[in-house]
A and B are shown apart, each in its own frame.
Chain A
């Protein structure tokens, strides 16, 4: 309840504002506009700030929402309340169609692509006969409850702000959930998320649709607020402005959207009404000042106003500690009878003319620690990527528990009980250690976006977090559980990755240079942990350069050099192997 307290205060304050005697009606209009803009910006917070997908086209989705209700109410006489689902649906369907094309685009193609279809749709709105071309559609009926018609700005005010508060609540619920973690992991690239079973294209499409539906809602409200719809507010300029609102407020924060909308709407209003007094009636002066202020603001606070305000708060919001007594079911997996857990037969990977992995074969048995060593560029990490499905083998066979992996995507490989860490740490730096580790348990939960928004996922969520907390305790990082992952040392981040991999409840753990960056004592603790895991029935395949660590720990060692296996055997045998010595130290003179 303590976390809901500021929200309730805000809701009460917003509810009272129109009731204060003497509030200029013009302020209410401004607040209406702020609410409408905040709705769209909130979608952008999720899409751009959290998910990393920049869209300039959100105004077009407002257009879908507004025009849907405009056509249905004026041409077909449908009640405004019935057009709400229709408006949301049309925006959502448009988002699916555009999203399938758009979310696959990487990097800067994405924003440019959205500018292009944003402008295309704007011209479409302004040319179509049944949408009234440039003049648009007027005479849209107001919202009404019984005989109470929301004609004035201060009556529709409540409809708008209830929508804003509900959306904010649902959005925050969504972010604080299994699906939310998957969305928050998107911005840092998809490989890590996919390694734990997140269907990244689906997660991207989800946020895209979510943002579009929020924009559609704003459009629907706008149409009944203005009681008219024309193309201008749905053009490229508006799309840019919404993005600007999100960035000014702080693109990763739900309340940043509301704050940003407030700043921008009020600023524009002030500039429009006061600049002409100061400089005489020069037209478009507000655009100039607005543009300059925008650049200045970004130079002073590139991450937005909301996080800056939050950092000024004297107290930090307390975090709940997960109840670790809750148990999470072990994933159901086919337990093979064969003692061979992982079998690699003549795996080969070529990049153009380079053969990174050259017909390598080896096995990992149950309850065994195998080390994969070799000089830099020997193909160790490539072998890892072949096993986990990040790369597809040019030829050869890889099977887990007798089941051939055969170019399965990473999301399928992890279901077989194979989890991994990365040579270059892939954590989400602005999520806490607990949240990062919980991504590892993604496949052990099943709650979707809707149940997260409605908080129907709490029981499962508590179990997932409990499991994550247990694994964090197991690797000895309980003290850091609530710190942001990005604030830990590199060595600790590697340990966090191990905890995340353990959350899969794996049969085979693949560790890519786990000891790099660790201090002596930490290495010893890691070795003890790995032995304990092996004795508990897990197998470990690790790539490592620290020979002392490897020789002490591994049951068996496989040596690669230039993509080819040159030796395999016990640590003692490998130490004496002349080929290995030659590969590491060069030919004896």
Chain B
């Protein structure tokens, strides 16, 4: 093998792996806090990417309207569940979050959308829209069944994935989209050329890993989230609002998903259903990381990216087979290493 190809494949693998790492981190985060295996993570990626790409062409993406609709549903649910002890402050707070915020977002989007809108504004709008969708998604689909088994949550998660993917087709059409690059700068090092885009991918991935580590290790909110993950009831008893923890987890996950999408949409064309497969590769990394360890997940994601790059070069037909069966030896090792532990579940 020639060194240039080797280096090139490595670079390609690491760039993809960094994106998988971001998604893997989000999956671990959501699972740890809410026990939801977040299949719609891939939709956050496509929604973020394609909303950004549409905004860049001066159109208002349908996701902005979706955020308003979901906000209305969330508001309705808030009022319904609080009907026995409804008071004005609660209703106002819910209205501010669920109605004023998405409506204002939609209004701003209509106001500023145009071919000449600065890129930073487009990115901010895309992120805010997807963040709102993530937040409301938890409120609508998962909060009412937060106490049920992992299996029921998983099936609900699949339902969300189907609905969001279908909506994605309505919003963005069957055609793929590409977005403008964040930066056109490039650095050449030997045979390799690092684009500003891929450098941004590396930088943001590292920033998120460090940020999450600081957040969970050193902030009150981060510790509250960890406490919720370990024992929901116990966390409630010491005054942690577990629904808030769930909302924060979904908020973070949707923002991470949208950022990943915005990072890759200038590199590859994304379709409304591309997110699912990308999200699944994040899964592989998350599983290898055991759904608990952030650093391990990040390392595993890089590994998945590299394996994918090499197998698409040498056995492109079997690329997906190789990536997805990569998990089996890992699972074998894990089951050999882990002692049989008793699980109290129902």
CB within 8 Å of B: which residues of A?
48, 52, 54, 101-102, 104-109, 111-113, 115-117, 119-120, 123-124, 127, 187-191, 240, 243-244, 247, 251, 282-295, 298-299, 302, 429
Interface size, B (range): 35 or more
Partner of B162, one of A109, A290, A299: A290
In the bound complex, do residue A113 and residue B327 qualify as a contact, i.e. CB atoms below 8 Å apart? yes
13 new A-B contacts at CB < 8 Å, known A112-B287, A429-B346:
A52-B345, A102-B331, A106-B343, A107-B343, A108-B37, A116-B328, A120-B324, A283-B174, A285-B166, A285-B170, A288-B170, A291-B161, A291-B163
In the bound complex, do residue A295 and residue B166 qualify as a contact, i.e. CB atoms below 8 Å apart? no
10 A–B contact pairs at CB < 8 A? A104-B335, A105-B331, A123-B320, A284-B169, A284-B170, A287-B165, A288-B163, A290-B159, A291-B163, A298-B159
- Shortest A565–chain B CB gap in Å is 27
Q: Is B175 an interface residue (CB 8 A)?
A: no
Closest to B164 in A: A291
Q: Is B155 an interface residue (CB 8 A)?
A: yes
In the bound complex, do residue B321 and residue A124 qualify as a contact, i.e. CB atoms below 8 Å apart? yes
Determine the chain A residues whose CB is within 8 A of the CB of B5 once the complex forms: none
In the bound complex, do residue A288 and residue B166 qualify as a contact, i.e. CB atoms below 8 Å apart? yes
Knowing A116-B284, A116-B327, A244-B158 touch, does A292 contact B148 (C-beta < 8 A)?
A: no
CA distance A175 to B284 in the complex (A): 35
- Shortest B43–chain A CB gap in Å is 11
- Shortest B80–chain A CB gap in Å is 12
Q: How many A-B residue contacts, CB cutoff 8 Å?
A: 152
Determine the chain B residues whose CB is within 8 A of the CB of A288 once the complex forms: 162-163, 166-167, 170
Determine the chain A residues whose CB is within 8 A of the CB of B290 once the complex forms: 109
- Shortest A87–chain B CB gap in Å is 22
In the bound complex, do residue A48 and residue B151 qualify as a contact, i.e. CB atoms below 8 Å apart? yes
In the bound complex, do residue B321 and residue A295 qualify as a contact, i.e. CB atoms below 8 Å apart? no
Partner of A287, one of B151, B162, B325: B162
Determine the chain B residues whose CB is within 8 A of the CB of A291 once the complex forms: 158-166
CA distance A489 to B36 in the complex (A): 32
Closest to A295 in B: B159
CA distance A554 to B163 in the complex (A): 65
- Shortest B161–chain A CB gap in Å is 7
Partner of A295, one of B163, B165, B291, B340: B163
In the bound complex, do residue A116 and residue B156 qualify as a contact, i.e. CB atoms below 8 Å apart? no
Closest to B149 in A: A302
Partner of A109, one of B161, B174, B334: B334
Closest to B335 in A: A104
Knowing A123-B321, A302-B152 touch, does A112 contact B37 (C-beta < 8 A)?
A: yes
Closest to A192 in B: B342
Determine the chain A residues whose CB is within 8 A of the CB of B325 once the complex forms: 116-117, 120
CA distance A293 to B31 in the complex (A): 23
- Shortest A410–chain B CB gap in Å is 11
Determine the chain B residues whose CB is within 8 A of the CB of A295 once the complex forms: 140-141, 156, 159-160, 163
CA distance A116 to B144 in the complex (A): 29
CA distance A288 to B286 in the complex (A): 27
CA distance A288 to B171 in the complex (A): 12
Closest to B165 in A: A287
CB within 8 Å of A: which residues of B?
31, 37, 140-141, 144-145, 148, 150-152, 154-156, 158-167, 169-170, 174, 280, 283-284, 286-287, 290-291, 317-318, 320-321, 324-325, 327-328, 331-332, 334-335, 338, 340-346
CA distance A272 to B96 in the complex (A): 38
CA distance A362 to B268 in the complex (A): 71
Partner of A127, one of B158, B167, B291, B321: B321
Determine the chain A residues whose CB is within 8 A of the CB of B155 once the complex forms: 243-244, 247, 294, 298
- Shortest A241–chain B CB gap in Å is 9
The 7 A-B residue pairs with the shortest CB-CB distance in the complex, in nearest-first order: A291-B163, A291-B162, A294-B159, A288-B166, A120-B324, A287-B166, A104-B335
Knowing A105-B334, A291-B159, A291-B161 touch, does A120 contact B320 (C-beta < 8 A)?
A: yes
- Shortest B143–chain A CB gap in Å is 10
Determine the chain A residues whose CB is within 8 A of the CB of B148 once the complex forms: 298, 302
CA distance A288 to B156 in the complex (A): 13
CA distance A48 to B155 in the complex (A): 13
Determine the chain B residues whose CB is within 8 A of the CB of A124 once the complex forms: 318, 321
In the bound complex, do residue A120 and residue B321 qualify as a contact, i.e. CB atoms below 8 Å apart? yes
The dominant DSSP class at the B interface is helix
Closest to B163 in A: A291
In the bound complex, do residue A123 and residue B324 qualify as a contact, i.e. CB atoms below 8 Å apart? yes
Closest to B148 in A: A302
In the bound complex, do residue A292 and residue B159 qualify as a contact, i.e. CB atoms below 8 Å apart? yes
- Shortest A21–chain B CB gap in Å is 39
Determine the chain B residues whose CB is within 8 A of the CB of A115 once the complex forms: 280, 283
- Shortest A38–chain B CB gap in Å is 18
A112, A251, A287 interface centre (most CB from chain B within 10 Å):
A112
Determine the chain B residues whose CB is within 8 A of the CB of A119 once the complex forms: 280, 320, 324
CA distance A188 to B149 in the complex (A): 13
In the bound complex, do residue A292 and residue B163 qualify as a contact, i.e. CB atoms below 8 Å apart? yes
Determine the chain B residues whose CB is within 8 A of the CB of A247 once the complex forms: 151-152, 155
Determine the chain B residues whose CB is within 8 A of the CB of A48 once the complex forms: 151
CA distance A292 to B73 in the complex (A): 12
CA distance A109 to B336 in the complex (A): 13
Determine the chain A residues whose CB is within 8 A of the CB of B170 once the complex forms: 282, 284-285, 288
Closest to A201 in B: B340
Closest to A240 in B: B158
Closest to B140 in A: A295
In the bound complex, do residue B338 and residue A106 qualify as a contact, i.e. CB atoms below 8 Å apart? yes
In the bound complex, do residue B145 and residue A299 qualify as a contact, i.e. CB atoms below 8 Å apart? yes
In the bound complex, do residue A116 and residue B287 qualify as a contact, i.e. CB atoms below 8 Å apart? yes
In the bound complex, do residue B331 and residue A101 qualify as a contact, i.e. CB atoms below 8 Å apart? yes
In the bound complex, do residue B287 and residue A191 qualify as a contact, i.e. CB atoms below 8 Å apart? no
Closest to A244 in B: B155
CA distance A295 to B318 in the complex (A): 35
Knowing A294-B158, A299-B144, A302-B148 touch, does A116 contact B166 (C-beta < 8 A)?
A: no
CA distance A189 to B284 in the complex (A): 26
- Shortest B307–chain A CB gap in Å is 13
Closest to A120 in B: B324
- Shortest B315–chain A CB gap in Å is 9
Closest to A390 in B: B342
Determine the chain A residues whose CB is within 8 A of the CB of B164 once the complex forms: 291
Determine the chain B residues whose CB is within 8 A of the CB of A123 once the complex forms: 318, 320-321, 324
CA distance A104 to B340 in the complex (A): 8
Knowing A120-B320, A287-B162 touch, does A189 contact B327 (C-beta < 8 A)?
A: no
Determine the chain A residues whose CB is within 8 A of the CB of B283 once the complex forms: 112, 115-116
In the bound complex, do residue B328 and residue A190 qualify as a contact, i.e. CB atoms below 8 Å apart? no
CA distance A517 to B264 in the complex (A): 60
CA distance A421 to B152 in the complex (A): 32
- Shortest B287–chain A CB gap in Å is 5
Determine the chain B residues whose CB is within 8 A of the CB of A243 once the complex forms: 155
CA distance A429 to B6 in the complex (A): 58
Determine the chain B residues whose CB is within 8 A of the CB of A429 once the complex forms: 346
- Shortest B62–chain A CB gap in Å is 12
Closest to B154 in A: A111
In the bound complex, do residue B151 and residue A54 qualify as a contact, i.e. CB atoms below 8 Å apart? yes
- Shortest B250–chain A CB gap in Å is 15
Determine the chain B residues whose CB is within 8 A of the CB of A244 once the complex forms: 155, 158-159
Determine the chain B residues whose CB is within 8 A of the CB of A190 once the complex forms: 340, 342
Determine the chain A residues whose CB is within 8 A of the CB of B31 once the complex forms: 108
CA distance A295 to B160 in the complex (A): 7
- Shortest A67–chain B CB gap in Å is 15
Determine the chain B residues whose CB is within 8 A of the CB of A293 once the complex forms: 159
CA distance A290 to B164 in the complex (A): 11
CA distance A176 to B286 in the complex (A): 39
Determine the chain A residues whose CB is within 8 A of the CB of B144 once the complex forms: 299
In the bound complex, do residue A298 and residue B324 qualify as a contact, i.e. CB atoms below 8 Å apart? no
CA distance A243 to B280 in the complex (A): 18
Determine the chain A residues whose CB is within 8 A of the CB of B327 once the complex forms: 113, 116-117
CA distance A283 to B280 in the complex (A): 25
Knowing A190-B342, A294-B156 touch, does A283 contact B169 (C-beta < 8 A)?
A: yes
